[in-house]
A and B are shown apart, each in its own frame.
Chain A
Amino acid sequence: MRRLAILLALLAAGPVLADSNRPAAPLAYSQLPDATQEARAKALMETLRCLVCQGQSIADSDAEMAGDMRALVRERIAKGEQPAAIRSYLIQRYGDYVTYDPPLSWVTAPLWIAPLLLLIIGLLLARRLFRKGAE
């Protein structure tokens, strides 16, 4: 009986809602009428990080804040703003963390240089090994 009561209580318990009571921004879930503009907005949205979910892009996320950021991107693209300018607007506010396309700086340099270095080391290794084999 007690178990049943607990079970019923659990069934009745609603999840705590941490979302607002307002509808999403108009451009959060609807595309721009101009297909080329929408394509540019989409490409940009796929490389911007959702700040609430952190592992997703704003194009993938269903978080309210991601919706607001999509609306911001689409509005600015529709006004004719360049994607790079919108990206730098967000970087000014949230740091490089917000972009999945990190700019080249001293901190990010290893990201760009390491693959080249590894490739060179691999080539050198391969050359040595093949030479040995030929002897």
Chain B
Amino acid sequence: MRRLLIWAPLALFALVFALVAGGLIKPADRTIHSAMVGKPLPALAMKPLLATKPGIDSAALKGKPRLLNVFASWCIPCIAEAPQLLKLKQAGVEIDAIAVRDTPEAVQGFLQRNGDPYARIGDDPTGKAQIALGSSGVPETFIVNSRGEIVDQHIGDIRADDIPGILAKLEAAK
């Protein structure tokens, strides 16, 4: 018993070492995934932000798969994402948007500078729709299937190499 106990401190050290090394080599995933993936879209009735585009009524977001993009004109990764969204639009994808804590003038300027991929833009002045979706930042993109259920969530800006995967998921969401 005693002879075995001698090794206990070393074993404890090895355990702590493995724990710390593990955390350094493979840090824990700190992104917050929405728990709404796999559930129907929450009820959203959002006023249009721009006079030229309709707002968002979640009951109407059915019939074909689409992307629901949570964005803001004050968000810098959203600028990086804009060309990719335009490519998706050219591929025939319908993209609706939730503009978080934004103003019509700022969004108008953003769309003029970066292109306009959106079919609808809902106004979310106090982040209520963002919270209803379980989104915790901008940009985030939800893939909604033809029955109006959320099937996937893309956190962060969409990059060029994400596009094939997103198109495949949209195809599967028909």
Q: Let me know if A79 is at the binding interface, CB within 8 A.
A: no
Task: Determine if B102 and A21 form an interchain contact, defined as CB atoms under 8 angstroms apart.
Answer: yes
Q: Let me know if A94 is at the binding interface, CB within 8 A.
A: yes
Contact with B along A38-82 (1 / 0, CB 8 A): 000000000000011010000000001100110110000000000
Q: Given A25-B126, A94-B136, are A68 and B102 neighbors across the interface (CB < 8 Å)?
A: no
Q: Let me know if B133 is at the binding interface, CB within 8 A.
A: yes
Question: Cβ of A68: which chain B residues have Cβ within 8 Å of it?
Answer: 101, 126-128, 130-131
Among residues 90 to 112 in chain A, which have CB atoms less than 8 Å away from a CB atom of chain B? 90-95, 97
Count of CB-CB pairs between chains A and B under 8 Å: 70
Task: Determine if A18 and B136 form an interchain contact, defined as CB atoms under 8 angstroms apart.
Answer: no
Number of A residues with CB within 8 Å of any CB on chain B = 25
Q: Let me know if B76 is at the binding interface, CB within 8 A.
A: yes
Q: Given A93-B35, A97-B32, are A21 and B134 neighbors across the interface (CB < 8 Å)?
A: no
Question: Cβ of B34: which chain A residues have Cβ within 8 Å of it?
Answer: 93-94
Task: Determine if A20 and B126 form an interchain contact, defined as CB atoms under 8 angstroms apart.
Answer: no
Task: Determine if B131 and A72 form an interchain contact, defined as CB atoms under 8 angstroms apart.
Answer: yes
Question: Which residue of chain A has the shortest Cβ distance to B34 in the bound complex?
Answer: A93
Minimal beta-carbon separation of B14 from chain A (angstroms): 22
Question: Cβ of A18: which chain B residues have Cβ within 8 Å of it?
Answer: 74-76
Separation of A52 and B128 alpha carbons in the complex (Å): 15
Listed by A's residue number, 22 A-B pairs whose Cβ atoms lie within 8 Å are: A18-B76, A20-B72, A20-B74, A20-B100, A20-B102, A21-B101, A22-B103, A25-B126, A51-B137, A52-B136, A65-B137, A68-B126, A68-B127, A68-B130, A69-B127, A72-B126, A92-B35, A93-B34, A93-B36, A93-B133, A93-B134, A95-B35
Interface residues in chain A, defined as those with a beta carbon under 8 Å from any beta carbon in chain B: 16-22, 25, 28, 51-52, 54, 64-65, 68-69, 71-72, 90-95, 97
